[in-house]
Amino acid sequence: MKVDTQKVILNLPATAEFVDVVRLNLYGIASKMGFSYEDIEDMKVAVSEACNNSVLYAYGQDHGHIDVIFEIGEETLSIIVEDEGESFETVKEVADQTTLHDKELSDVQIGGLGFYLMQALMDNVRIENVAGQGTRVTMSKSLARSEERV
Protein backbone atom coordinates (compact mmCIF):
# COMPACT_ATOMS: atom_id res chain seq x y z
CA MET A 1 0.00 0.00 0.00
CA LYS A 2 1.47 3.33 -1.07
CA VAL A 3 1.49 6.06 1.55
CA ASP A 4 0.73 9.58 0.36
CA THR A 5 3.37 12.18 1.12
CA GLN A 6 2.59 14.10 4.29
CA LYS A 7 3.78 17.64 4.89
CA VAL A 8 4.72 19.59 7.99
CA ILE A 9 5.15 23.30 7.28
CA LEU A 10 6.89 25.78 9.57
CA ASN A 11 6.84 29.53 8.97
CA LEU A 12 9.42 31.12 11.24
CA PRO A 13 11.11 34.48 11.75
CA ALA A 14 14.49 34.53 9.98
CA THR A 15 16.48 34.75 13.19
CA ALA A 16 19.08 32.40 14.63
CA GLU A 17 16.95 31.66 17.70
CA PHE A 18 14.40 29.77 15.60
CA VAL A 19 16.85 27.38 13.92
CA ASP A 20 16.58 25.16 17.02
CA VAL A 21 12.82 24.89 16.45
CA VAL A 22 13.52 23.49 12.97
CA ARG A 23 16.07 21.02 14.36
CA LEU A 24 13.63 19.80 17.04
CA ASN A 25 10.88 19.26 14.46
CA LEU A 26 13.31 17.42 12.21
CA TYR A 27 14.35 15.17 15.08
CA GLY A 28 10.74 14.25 15.87
CA ILE A 29 9.78 13.56 12.27
CA ALA A 30 12.94 11.62 11.36
CA SER A 31 12.71 9.53 14.56
CA LYS A 32 9.14 8.50 13.77
CA MET A 33 10.22 7.52 10.25
CA GLY A 34 12.94 5.23 11.63
CA PHE A 35 16.11 7.11 10.68
CA SER A 36 19.25 6.22 12.60
CA TYR A 37 20.73 8.58 15.17
CA GLU A 38 23.66 9.26 12.82
CA ASP A 39 21.41 10.09 9.87
CA ILE A 40 19.30 12.40 12.05
CA GLU A 41 22.41 14.23 13.26
CA ASP A 42 23.60 14.61 9.64
CA MET A 43 20.21 16.01 8.62
CA LYS A 44 20.23 18.42 11.57
CA VAL A 45 23.58 19.83 10.48
CA ALA A 46 22.42 20.16 6.85
CA VAL A 47 19.12 21.87 7.72
CA SER A 48 20.93 24.21 10.12
CA GLU A 49 23.28 25.24 7.30
CA ALA A 50 20.35 25.96 4.98
CA CYS A 51 18.49 27.95 7.65
CA ASN A 52 21.60 29.86 8.70
CA ASN A 53 22.21 30.94 5.11
CA SER A 54 18.72 32.42 5.03
CA VAL A 55 19.18 34.07 8.42
CA LEU A 56 22.60 35.53 7.55
CA TYR A 57 22.16 36.55 3.91
CA ALA A 58 18.53 36.80 2.83
CA TYR A 59 17.21 39.81 4.65
CA GLY A 60 20.18 41.83 5.91
CA GLN A 61 18.94 43.98 8.78
CA ASP A 62 15.29 43.65 7.72
CA HIS A 63 12.95 41.21 9.40
CA GLY A 64 11.89 38.35 7.20
CA HIS A 65 10.71 34.78 7.48
CA ILE A 66 11.80 31.29 6.52
CA ASP A 67 9.47 28.53 5.39
CA VAL A 68 10.65 25.03 6.23
CA ILE A 69 8.65 22.20 4.68
CA PHE A 70 9.15 18.58 5.68
CA GLU A 71 7.78 16.21 3.03
CA ILE A 72 7.41 12.79 4.58
CA GLY A 73 7.38 9.92 2.11
CA GLU A 74 7.31 6.21 2.71
CA GLU A 75 11.12 5.87 2.57
CA THR A 76 12.36 9.45 2.02
CA LEU A 77 12.33 12.69 3.97
CA SER A 78 12.63 15.88 1.93
CA ILE A 79 13.34 19.19 3.62
CA ILE A 80 12.72 22.45 1.81
CA VAL A 81 14.05 25.74 3.20
CA GLU A 82 12.72 28.85 1.46
CA ASP A 83 13.19 32.55 1.95
CA GLU A 84 12.05 35.57 -0.04
CA GLY A 85 15.12 37.68 0.61
CA GLU A 86 18.17 38.60 -1.39
CA SER A 87 19.92 35.72 -3.04
CA PHE A 88 23.29 34.70 -1.71
CA GLU A 89 25.52 35.44 -4.71
CA THR A 90 27.72 32.33 -4.60
CA VAL A 91 24.88 29.84 -4.25
CA LYS A 92 24.58 29.16 -7.97
CA GLU A 93 28.32 28.88 -8.43
CA VAL A 94 28.67 26.48 -5.52
CA ALA A 95 25.64 24.43 -6.51
CA ASP A 96 27.04 23.92 -10.00
CA GLN A 97 30.28 22.47 -8.65
CA THR A 98 30.23 18.95 -7.32
CA THR A 99 33.28 18.56 -5.09
CA LEU A 100 36.08 20.35 -3.30
CA HIS A 101 38.63 17.73 -4.34
CA ASP A 102 40.14 19.78 -7.18
CA LYS A 103 40.20 23.05 -5.25
CA GLU A 104 42.59 24.70 -2.88
CA LEU A 105 40.88 25.74 0.36
CA SER A 106 41.85 29.35 -0.38
CA ASP A 107 39.82 29.13 -3.63
CA VAL A 108 36.57 28.35 -1.83
CA GLN A 109 34.30 31.27 -0.98
CA ILE A 110 33.65 31.63 2.75
CA GLY A 111 29.88 31.20 2.50
CA GLY A 112 30.19 28.26 0.15
CA LEU A 113 31.38 25.56 2.52
CA GLY A 114 27.90 25.13 3.99
CA PHE A 115 26.58 23.99 0.62
CA TYR A 116 29.34 21.41 0.26
CA LEU A 117 28.50 20.21 3.75
CA MET A 118 24.80 19.85 2.84
CA GLN A 119 25.76 17.86 -0.26
CA ALA A 120 28.02 15.59 1.77
CA LEU A 121 25.40 14.88 4.45
CA MET A 122 22.25 14.48 2.35
CA ASP A 123 21.41 12.15 -0.56
CA ASN A 124 20.23 14.99 -2.83
CA VAL A 125 20.54 18.77 -2.61
CA ARG A 126 19.08 21.26 -5.08
CA ILE A 127 19.41 25.02 -4.79
CA GLU A 128 17.13 27.37 -6.71
CA ASN A 129 17.98 31.01 -6.60
CA VAL A 130 16.02 33.83 -8.27
CA ALA A 131 17.32 37.38 -7.87
CA GLY A 132 14.90 39.44 -5.81
CA GLN A 133 12.61 36.47 -5.16
CA GLY A 134 14.64 34.42 -2.73
CA THR A 135 16.28 31.05 -2.42
CA ARG A 136 14.87 27.54 -2.15
CA VAL A 137 17.06 24.71 -0.87
CA THR A 138 15.61 21.21 -1.30
CA MET A 139 17.39 18.35 0.45
CA SER A 140 16.39 14.72 0.79
CA LYS A 141 17.56 11.60 2.56
CA SER A 142 16.27 8.06 2.18
CA LEU A 143 16.03 5.51 4.93
CA ALA A 144 19.02 3.20 4.92
CA ARG A 145 18.11 -0.40 4.28
CA SER A 146 19.25 -2.73 7.03
CA GLU A 147 18.52 -6.30 7.87
CA GLU A 148 16.55 -5.20 10.92
CA ARG A 149 14.00 -3.40 8.70
CA VAL A 150 12.40 -6.28 6.85
pLDDT, tens digit (0-9, with 9 covering 90-100), for 77-119:
999 999 998 765 544 444 444 454 455 544 444 456 788 899 9
Domain ranges, ordered by start, for the chain = 6-142
Detail the DSSP E strand segments found in the chain: 6-13, 65-72, 76-83, 124-130, 134-142
Mean pLDDT, the chain, whole residue set? 82
Q: In what order do the strands lie in the sheet with 65-72?
A: 6-13, 65-72, 76-83, 134-142, 124-130
More confident site: 53 or 98: 53
Q: Using CA atoms, how far apart are residues 8 and 88, in angstroms rounded to an integer?
A: 26
- Residue 129 scores a pLDDT above 60: yes
Domain 6-142 class, CATH top level:
alpha beta
> Positive or negative, the Cα torsion across 60, 111, 26, 119?
positive
